């Protein structure tokens, strides 16, 4: 089973500090697109079967439809790859989000705030996403793996073993509890 796991792309972030120094904000946004295109090319060249995006894929307040169309067109270039997205605190699945108001490519699965399991031949993939800009508990610690003979993967946006007050607002998850549940892989944001 081959997969790629990313998080925190923050497409269309305004980069206010960089913008104050000239065109650097615009350059950074173009860099994001180029990097993402390279990821898609890598997936194509290496026939990667799964692509996990663990939240904060875009900035809700700033995302442009043209950016989503660009991303979705890249997704269409890898139709054999199953793409799983869990919304995070910067891109929650809310009524006016691009997740709920855009027609995504058929190979894209976007999780909501309800824990869901997707069965594939190789693995059972559990996912849950934010439905607000703050989330103190998505209940991932209550998941019970149904088939321990398969690979079991969790995809969510969360803070691993959070202890400070700020981190507790972003889906705190106990590392020890995840071990007890028995996931083979947990796709979280990179600084968890």
pLDDT of residue 138: 77
* pTM for this predicted structure: 0.90
Cβ 90 vs Cβ 65: under 8 Å: no
Establish if 76 belongs to a structural domain: yes
Establish if 150 belongs to a structural domain: yes
Residue 166 has pLDDT above 90, yes or no: no
Q: How many CB atoms lie within 10 A of CB 58?
A: 24
Establish if 192 belongs to a structural domain: no
The β-bridge partners of 85 are 53, 110
User: What domain range is 40 assigned to?
Assistant: 3-187
Cβ 68 vs Cβ 98: under 8 Å: yes
Q: Is 121 exposed, middle or buried (0-12, 13-18, 19+ CB in 10 A)?
A: exposed
Domain count, the chain: 1
Question: In what side-by-side order are the strands of the sheet with 185-187?
Answer: 116-119, 123-127, 151-155, 185-187
The CATH number of whichever domain residue 11 belongs to comes to 3.60.21.10
Q: What is the mean pLDDT of the chain?
A: 88
Give 30-37's long-range contacts (Cβ < 8 A, gap of 24+).
33/67, 33/70, 36/9, 36/11, 36/71, 36/74, 37/74
Residues 136-159 have pLDDT tens digits of 777 888 899 999 999 999 999 887
Establish if 151 belongs to a structural domain: yes
Residue 4 has pLDDT above 80, yes or no: yes
Establish if 182 belongs to a structural domain: yes
Which residue, among 142, 144, 146, 154, has the nearest Cα to 184 in the 3D structure?
Answer: 154
Q: State how far the Cα of 27 lies from the Cα of 85, in Å rounded to an integer.
A: 26
Least confident of 16-20, 85-89, 112-116, 123-127: 16-20
The pair phi, psi for residue 40, each rounded to 5°, is -65, -40
Establish if 164 belongs to a structural domain: yes
pLDDT of residue 139: 82
Buried b (16+ CB within 10 A) or exposed e, 75-103: beebeebbbbbbbbbbbbbbeebbbeeee
Q: State how far the Cα of 73 lies from the Cα of 114, in Å rounded to an integer.
A: 27
């Amino acid at each position: 089973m081959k997969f790629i796991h990313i998080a925190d792309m923050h497409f269309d972030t305004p980069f206010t500090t960089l913008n104050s120094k000239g065109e650097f904000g615009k350059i950074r946004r173009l860099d994001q697109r180029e990097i993402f295109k390279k990821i898609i090319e890598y997936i194509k060249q290496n026939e990667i079967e799964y692509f996990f995006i663990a939240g904060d894929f875009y900035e809700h307040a700033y995302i442009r439809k043209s950016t989503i169309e660009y991303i979705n067109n890249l997704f269409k270039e890898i139709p054999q790859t199953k793409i799983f997205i869990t919304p995070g605190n910067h891109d929650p699945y809310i009524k006016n989000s691009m997740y709920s108001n855009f027609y995504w490519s058929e190979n894209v699965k976007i999780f909501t705030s309800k824990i869901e399991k997707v069965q594939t031949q190789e693995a059972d993939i559990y996912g849950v996403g934010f439905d607000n800009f703050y989330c103190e508990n998505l209940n991932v610690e209550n998941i019970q793996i149904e088939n321990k003979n398969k690979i079991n993967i969790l995809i969510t946006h969360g803070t691993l073993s959070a202890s400070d007050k700020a981190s507790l607002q972003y889906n705190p998850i106990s590392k020890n509890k995840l071990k007890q549940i028995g996931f083979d892989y947990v796709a979280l944001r990179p600084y968890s």
